[in-house]
């Protein structure tokens, strides 16, 4: 049976012969049913709309890239690791120099020229405060402490700037290096914020790799979806077009989505702000889930634009 709307009471009163008591009982029955629905427990889930880029100041602290770098470095034997720092000379504009290095695949060619064979390596790209890039290349040397890669040898192969080679002093020193990308590690300092931001000359790019390596930890992830290879071969593959970083980073964490009872709505405010207001109004379950009566959760969502404008 369809629920009786409040507007229908007057019509029912005219068309039916109810005593005053029966009429009051009918209204109470309607309001009791409505009250049961509005006061039952309900949950909302707040999801921030994030870019999840390794170059985003907000997302880089918890994105998969930072954790992957840390895990792969931690899997290396510290007493066999050599760290090579590749810099770029200041004689040329950083944008021109960076384009030259990327277009010529200078990093892969250097690694190939070093003849590392089965030795594991990993490089990480970072930027100085003035926008010039530099790379940290970690190499696991099979000969341990007795075998340096050779600074002069690397310098002959790297024509773009100066080269430095070093190695971890002890396990504690290596632990500090592997913790480089933790939330409370290297990037927590205000003086290191430039490491999280792409220089202006790269903001129009759609992809700048943060790291590269020739090994990984654990088995490769295999998709559970069964793909019809015959049908897949007939479909023309289209390259995935990413938005430039300037658009992706600008839009990051400026909006959020709220889910309640399978329905979604988008709020024009950062998820952190919405979660803070939800924590004050509703019962907090975890960092993104909040609980209250149906009436309270609906009122909370409807009042958000007013609250966030004040």
At 138-178, the pLDDT tens digits run 998 866 555 567 888 899 999 999 999 888 888 888 888 77
Mean predicted confidence (pLDDT) in 86-112: 94
pLDDT at 286: 92
pLDDT at 143: 63
How do beta strands 256-260 and 283-284 pair?
unpaired
> Tens digits of per-residue pLDDT, 205-220?
999 999 999 988 876 6
pLDDT at 4: 46
Tokens representing residue 231 in the block: 């049908």
Q: Which option is the CATH number for 64-213: 3.30.1490, 1.10.10, 3.40.1310, 3.40.50?
A: 3.40.1310
List, by residue range, all CATH 3.40.1310 domains of the chain: 64-213
- Hey, how many other C-beta atoms are within 10 angstroms of the C-beta on 119? 18
Q: Are 59 and 122 in contact (CB under 8 A)?
A: no
pTM of the model: 0.71
290 SS3 class? strand
218 alpha carbon, distance to own chain's centre: 21
157: alpha, beta or left, given left = phi > 0 and alpha = psi -120 to 50?
alpha
Least confident of 22-36, 83-97, 223-237: 223-237
> Tens digits of per-residue pLDDT, 242-291?
789 999 999 898 989 999 888 888 888 899 899 999 999 999 999 999 99
pLDDT at 29: 72
Mean predicted confidence (pLDDT) in 28-37: 70
Which residues lie closer than 8 Å to 145 by C-beta, 6 or more apart? Answer: 79, 80, 167
Q: Is the pLDDT of residue 239 over 80?
A: no
* SS3 of 197-264: CCCHHHCCCCCCCCEEECCCCCCCCCCCCCCCHHHHHHCCCCCCCCCCHHHHHHHCCCCEEEEECCEE
pLDDT at 190: 44
């Amino acid at each position: 049976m369809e629920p009786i709307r409040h507007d229908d009471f007057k019509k029912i009163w005219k068309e039916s012969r109810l005593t005053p008591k029966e009429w009051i009982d009918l209204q109470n029955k309607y309001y009791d049913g409505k009250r049961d629905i509005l006061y039952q427990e309900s949950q909302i889930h707040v999801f921030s709309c994030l870019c999840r880029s390794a170059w985003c100041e907000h997302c880089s602290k918890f994105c998969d890239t930072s954790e992957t770098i840390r895990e792969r470095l931690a899997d290396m034997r510290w007493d066999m690791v050599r760290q090579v720092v590749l810099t770029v000379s200041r004689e040329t504009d950083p944008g021109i120099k960076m384009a030259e290095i990327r277009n010529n695949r200078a990093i892969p060619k250097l690694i190939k020229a070093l003849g590392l064979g089965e030795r594991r390596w990993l490089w990480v790209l970072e930027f100085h405060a003035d926008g010039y890039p530099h790379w940290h290349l970690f190499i696991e040397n099979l000969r341990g402490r007795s075998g340096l890669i050779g600074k002069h040898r690397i310098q002959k192969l790297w024509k773009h700037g100066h080269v430095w080679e070093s190695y971890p002093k002890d396990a504690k020193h290596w632990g500090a290096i592997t913790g480089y990308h933790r939330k409370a590690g290297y990037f927590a300092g205000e003086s290191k914020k430039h490491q999280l931001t792409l220089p202006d000359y790269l903001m129009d790019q759609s992809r700048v790799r943060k790291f590269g390596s020739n090994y990984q930890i654990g088995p490769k992830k295999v998709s559970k979806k069964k793909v019809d290879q015959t049908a897949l071969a007939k479909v023309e593959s289209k390259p995935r077009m990413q938005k430039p970083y300037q658009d992706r980073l600008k839009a990051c964490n400026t909006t959020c989505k709220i889910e309640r009872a399978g329905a979604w709505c988008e709020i024009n405010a950062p998820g952190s702000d919405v979660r803070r207001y939800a924590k004050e109004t509703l019962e907090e379950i975890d960092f993104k889930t909040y609980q209250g009566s149906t009436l309270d959760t609906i009122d909370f969502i409807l009042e958000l634009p007013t609250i966030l404008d004040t």
